[in-house]
Amino acid sequence: MAKLIYYAISSLDGYIEDAYGKFDWAEPDEEVHAFVNDLVRPVGTYLFGRRMYETLVFWERPPDLATQPPFVQDFAEIWQRADKIVFSKTLQTVASAKTRIERDFDPEAVRQLKATAARDLTVGGPELAAQAIEAGLVDEYQLFLVPVVVGGGKPSLQDRNVRVNLELLHERRFHNGTVYLHYRART
Ligand SMILES: NC(=O)c1ccc[n+]([C@@H]2O[C@H](COP(=O)([O-])OP(=O)(O)OC[C@H]3O[C@@H](n4cnc5c(N)ncnc54)[C@H](OP(=O)(O)O)[C@@H]3O)[C@@H](O)[C@H]2O)c1
């Protein structure tokens, strides 16, 4: 059975984007980026909300990729290799290969996907992830806490009145002050 992982880069006060819709403060440096690359390398399928997809589809054809540092090129290759499922009622076409659109989030279909997938899956952004968390489908949380308080914005973990008890599997601190927390949902 493949795992479904919620992965997010968040401010210390728990926001994935600030009140202005910005998340430039979350941009990983080389050390964090290389670590993220290794985390997502084994993932077979990304489940994206439409907004997260629209941000990350940049990686399908990054400009001047050949002149970028190796860790950036590495991430682009990892992104391009994975399958993507985009959840959206409005998106008409996709701008990446290996990508399909789903019009509804059907927990049973995702459960089936986990049961049959050969490799793990991730889910993001927070609006879509909240539905997977609510349905009890998220097995692990991989959170990066960036050393900034932004004071408001979009929570990385939405308020859904769902309680999930967690077991800490790993943690890591980076030179830029970012902390990685890896939890497993207790059943
Ligand atoms: N901190 C970071 O490092 C970082 C990195 C990248 C992005 N971000 C930010 O994170 C944001 C994305 O997170 P988000 O929580 O705002 O959005 P999201 O979960 O990525 O996407 C929300 C959208 O997904 C679709 N959707 C959600 N549930 C659905 C359902 N049950 N059925 C069908 N479609 C469904 C809807 O699209 P439709 O409206 O098309 O129906 C909805 O508007 C980005 O916009 C960006 O600002 C932060």
**For residues 159 and 157, what is the distance between their CA atoms, to the nearest angstrom?**
7
Region 180-184 average pLDDT: 98
Q: Compute, in angstroms, the gap from residue 67 CA to the centroid of ligand 1.
A: 30
Report pLDDT for 115: 98
Report pLDDT for 187: 81
Which pTM does this prediction carry? 0.97
With a 6 Å cutoff on the Cβ, whether 16 touches ligand 1 is yes
Q: CA–CA distance from 186 to each of 18, 107, 111, 136, 165 (Å)?
A: 30, 19, 17, 11, 6
Residues 6+ apart with CB under 8 A from 36: 28, 75, 144
With a 6 Å cutoff on the Cβ, whether 105 touches ligand 1 is yes
pLDDT-based confidence at residue 19 (cuts at 50, 70, 90): very high
Q: Count Cα atoms within 13 angstroms, Cβ side, for 74.
A: 14
The SS3 assignment for 86 reads: strand
Joined tokens for residue 176: 């830029």
Region 23-52 average pLDDT: 98
149-168: pLDDT as tens digits: 999 999 999 999 999 999 99
Region 29-42 average pLDDT: 98
